[in-house]
Amino acid sequence: MLHLAPLALYLIAAVLAARAARGAPAARPWPAALTTLAGLVVHALILFAAIRRPDGGLSLAITDSASLVGWVVAATTLAAMLTMPLAALPAALLLLAGLLAAGTGLFNGFNEIHSPQWEITAHIALAALAAGWLSIAAIVVLMLAWQDTRLRSRAPLGILAGLPPMETMESALFRALGGGFVVLTFVLVTGLFFVQDVIAQHLIHKMTLAIVAWVVFGVLLFGRVRYGWRGRRARKFTIAGFVILALAYFGSKFVLENLLGRHWG
């Protein structure tokens, strides 16, 4: 039950963020921010206990990897709440973070790294950071698509009325995409130093898909800068890149560990 504490805290923070966005009486961003901070601390402690092994090694099951991404999403959301006018968008992001955090320690992971050096630890952290920021981009795109559909059909916005204007949403989208792309570039470059044989280490599919996702995001960002791409085209590229990236890590990891009983390395 302790593993559900981050989920509970993030959900409470999401409700507080939504109340603040609606301008409820006495609603302020600080209650949501402080609750999110509490969730981050509890989440980090539980996640560390789940992945740390008595021999000093690290064991990342697929649910723990997702939880690490959720921590990045929550931390980024906290920073955004305090610096950007995102209205009710943090509520959706905190919901995602809570769902990802709920899987912490659910499965037993392989002892992938027996004596992790700082380089390996940094590589894992960067990979989680890239995945987290690109996950935020995917959530923003889904909300934008929903917003656009309701506006085109002239249907009532309902809960979407609490979201920022579409221009603000697109700005947040490309900030997340730009940051995620830069970090993903570092992940791919640094990953080359830890790979001796992509086939023997069961990394060929993961690396190939990650590079394809990197190309998709790169084309989108180039199109944005050079041709001003936005709207549906930007949404299609973002979703395509995110799906490919998710398959690169989570899909490959699930097949390798849960279906084939193997692990990286």
The predicted-structure confidence for 205-230, as pLDDT tens digits, reads as follows 788 899 999 999 999 999 999 999 98
Q: Coil, strand or helix: which one is 153? A: coil
Q: Coil, strand or helix: which one is 264? A: coil
pLDDT at residue 106 in the model? 81
Which of 116, 137, 169 is the last residue before a domain boundary? 116
Q: 131 and 105, same structural domain? A: no
In angstroms, the CA 72 to CA 128 distance is: 7
Q: 158 and 87, same structural domain? A: no
pTM of the model as a whole: 0.89
Find all residues with CB under 8 Å of 141, minimum gap 6, and list them: 173, 234, 235, 238, 239
The two tokens of residue 120 are 């390996």
Q: What's the chain's average pLDDT?
A: 84
User: Higher pLDDT residue, 60 or 104?
Assistant: 104
pLDDT at residue 135 in the model? 95
In angstroms, the CA 91 to CA 36 distance is: 11
Segments forming the whole domain that contains residue 32:
1-116
Helix (H) / strand (E) element for 71: namely helix 62-83
In angstroms, the CA 6 to CA 85 distance is: 25
Side-chain-facing half-sphere of 169: CA atoms under 13 Å:
28
pLDDT in tens, 36-90: 999 999 999 999 988 887 666 777 788 899 999 999 999 999 999 888 878 889 9
CB 66 within 8 A of CB 253: no
**Terminal alpha carbon distance of the chain:** 33
Number of domains within the chain: 2
Q: 263 and 142, same structural domain? A: yes
The two tokens of residue 162 are 């609490």
Q: 28, exposed or middle or buried, with CB in 10 Å at 0-12, 13-18, 19+?
A: exposed
Q: 221 and 143, same structural domain? A: yes
